[in-house]
Amino acid sequence: MSYAEVYGRWQSDPEGFWMEQAEAIDWVKKPSKALWDENAPLYEWYVDGEVNTCWNAVDRHVENGRGSQVALIHDSPVTGTVQKITYAELRNRVALLAGALRARGVEKGDRVIIYMPMVPQAIEAMLACARIGAIHSVVFGGFASHELAVRIDDCKPRAIIAASCGVEPGRVVHYKPLLDGAIAQAAHKPDFCVIFQREQEVAELEPGRDVDWHAFQYGVEPAECVPVAGNHPAYILYTSGTTGQPKGVIRPTAGHLVALNWSMKNVYNVDPGDVFWAASDVGWVVGHSYICYAPLIHGNTSIVFEGKPVGTPDAGTYWRVMADHGVRSFFTAPTAFRAVKREDPQGEFIRKHDLSKLEIVYLAGERADPDTINWAKRMLDKPVIDHWWQTETGWPIAANPVGIELLPVKVGSPSVAMPGYEIHILDEAGKELPRGELGAIAVKLPLPPGTLPTLWNAEARFRKSYLDTFPGYYETGDAGMIDEDGYLYIMARTDDVINVAGHRLSTGAMEEVLANHPDVAETAVIGVHDELKGQLPVGFVCLTKGVNRPHEDIVKECVAMVRDQIGPVAAFKSAVVVDRLPKTRSGKILRATMAKIADGEAYKMPATIDDPAILDEIAAALKTIGFARS
Ligand code: COA
Ligand code: AMP
Q: Domains in the chain, start-ordered, CATH in brackets?
A: 3-420 (3.40.50.12780), 503-624 (3.30.300.30)
Closest CA to 257 of 421, 87, 27: 27
Ligand 2 lined by 166 (C-beta under 6 Å)? no
Q: Would you state the pLDDT for residue 629? A: 64
Ligand 2 lined by 366 (C-beta under 6 Å)? yes
pLDDT, tens digit, for every residue of 553-610? 999 999 999 999 999 999 999 999 999 999 988 889 999 999 999 999 998 888 888 8
User: E strands, 48-191, where?
Assistant: 50-51, 70-76, 81-86, 111-115, 135-138, 159-163, 165-168, 171-174
In the DSSP assignment, the letter for residue 407 is P
Whether omega for the bond prior to residue 41 falls within 30 degrees of 0, making it cis, is: yes
Q: Find the ligand nearest to 237 CA.
A: 2
What SS3 class is residue 380?
Answer: helix
CA 480 – ligand 2 centroid, Å: 12
Which of 337, 362, 569 to mutate for ligand 1's pocket (most ligand atoms within 8 Å of CB)? 569
601 burial type by CB count under 10 A (0-12 exposed, 13-18 middle, 19+ buried):
exposed
CA 544 – ligand 2 centroid, Å: 37
Amino acid 138 reads V
CA 571 – ligand 1 centroid, Å: 8
By alpha-carbon position, which residue is closest to atom 31 of ligand 1?
A: 308
Q: Would you state the pLDDT for residue 469? A: 98
Quote the CA–CA distance of 542 and 576 in Å, as a whole number. 9
Per-residue CA distances from 414 to 37, 235, 298, 399, 535 (Å): 30, 27, 24, 5, 19
By alpha-carbon position, which residue is closest to atom 6 of ligand 2?
A: 390
Instruction: Sort strands 301-305 and 70-76 into parallel, antiparallel or unpaired.
Output: parallel
Rg (CA), the chain: 24
CA 503 – ligand 2 centroid, Å: 9
Which atom of ligand 1 lies nearest, measured to the CA of 173? 2
By alpha-carbon position, which residue is closest to atom 14 of ligand 2?
A: 366
Ligand 1 lined by 339 (C-beta under 6 Å)? yes
Closest CA to 229 of 453, 553, 388: 453
Which atom of ligand 1 lies nearest, measured to the CA of 502? 45
CA 79 – ligand 2 centroid, Å: 31
Q: Would you state the pLDDT for residue 142? A: 95
Which of 367, 384, 466 to mutate for ligand 2's pocket (most ligand atoms within 8 Å of CB)? 367
Question: Do 115 and 161 touch, CB atoms closer than 8 A?
Answer: yes
Ligand 2 lined by 176 (C-beta under 6 Å)? no
Quote the CA–CA distance of 402 and 178 in Å, as a whole number. 42
Ligand 1 lined by 100 (C-beta under 6 Å)? no
Which atom of ligand 1 lies nearest, measured to the CA of 286? 48
User: E strands, 375-500, where?
Assistant: 384-386, 398-399, 416-417, 423-426, 439-444, 473-482, 488-493, 497-500
Which of 478, 500, 535 to mutate for ligand 2's pocket (most ligand atoms within 8 Å of CB)? 478
Quote the CA–CA distance of 580 and 614 in Å, as a whole number. 7
Q: Find the ligand nearest to 167 CA.
A: 1
Which atom of ligand 2 lies nearest, measured to the CA of 493? 12
By alpha-carbon position, which residue is closest to atom 23 of ligand 1?
A: 569
Q: Would you state the pLDDT for residue 604? A: 86
Ligand 2 lined by 388 (C-beta under 6 Å)? yes
By alpha-carbon position, which residue is closest to atom 32 of ligand 1?
A: 336
Q: What is the mean pLDDT of the chain?
A: 97
Quote the CA–CA distance of 612 and 34 in Å, as a whole number. 55
pLDDT, tens digit, for every residue of 425-474? 999 999 999 999 999 999 999 999 999 999 999 999 999 999 999 999 99
Which atom of ligand 2 lies nearest, measured to the CA of 476? 10
Closest CA to 136 of 262, 283, 301: 283
* H or E element, residue 192: strand 192-196
By alpha-carbon position, which residue is closest to atom 21 of ligand 1?
A: 569
Per-residue CA distances from 218 to 98, 103, 134, 205 (Å): 12, 11, 21, 17
Amino acid 520 reads V
CA 478 – ligand 2 centroid, Å: 8
Ligand 2 lined by 285 (C-beta under 6 Å)? yes
Which of the residues in the chain have pLDDT under 50? Answer: none
Name 334's Cβ contacts closer than 8 Å, sequence gap at least 6.
363, 365, 366, 367, 368, 369, 372, 373, 502, 534
CA 399 – ligand 1 centroid, Å: 26
Which atom of ligand 1 lies nearest, measured to the CA of 563? 17
By alpha-carbon position, which residue is closest to atom 5 of ligand 2?
A: 390
Ligand 2 lined by 477 (C-beta under 6 Å)? yes
Q: Would you state the pLDDT for residue 189? A: 98
Ligand 2 lined by 478 (C-beta under 6 Å)? yes
Ligand 1 lined by 310 (C-beta under 6 Å)? yes
CA 38 – ligand 2 centroid, Å: 31
CA 336 – ligand 2 centroid, Å: 15
Instruction: Sort strands 165-168 and 423-426 into parallel, antiparallel or unpaired.
Output: unpaired
Q: Would you state the pLDDT for residue 242? A: 81
Cα torsion through 316, 321, 322, 326, rounded to 10: 150
CA 621 – ligand 2 centroid, Å: 30
Quote the CA–CA distance of 240 and 501 in Å, as a whole number. 15
Q: Would you state the pLDDT for residue 381? A: 97
CA 551 – ligand 1 centroid, Å: 28
Whether omega for the bond prior to residue 434 falls within 30 degrees of 0, making it cis, is: no
Quote the CA–CA distance of 266 and 415 in Å, as a whole number. 14
Q: Would you state the pLDDT for residue 520? A: 97
The phi-psi region of residue 156 (left if phi > 0; otherwise alpha if psi is between -120 and 50; otherwise beta) is left
Q: Would you state the pLDDT for residue 609? A: 85
Which of 115, 178, 308, 566 to mutate for ligand 1's pocket (most ligand atoms within 8 Å of CB)? 308
CA 500 – ligand 1 centroid, Å: 9
529 burial type by CB count under 10 A (0-12 exposed, 13-18 middle, 19+ buried):
middle
Per-residue CA distances from 155 to 49, 110, 446, 455, 596 (Å): 25, 9, 26, 11, 38
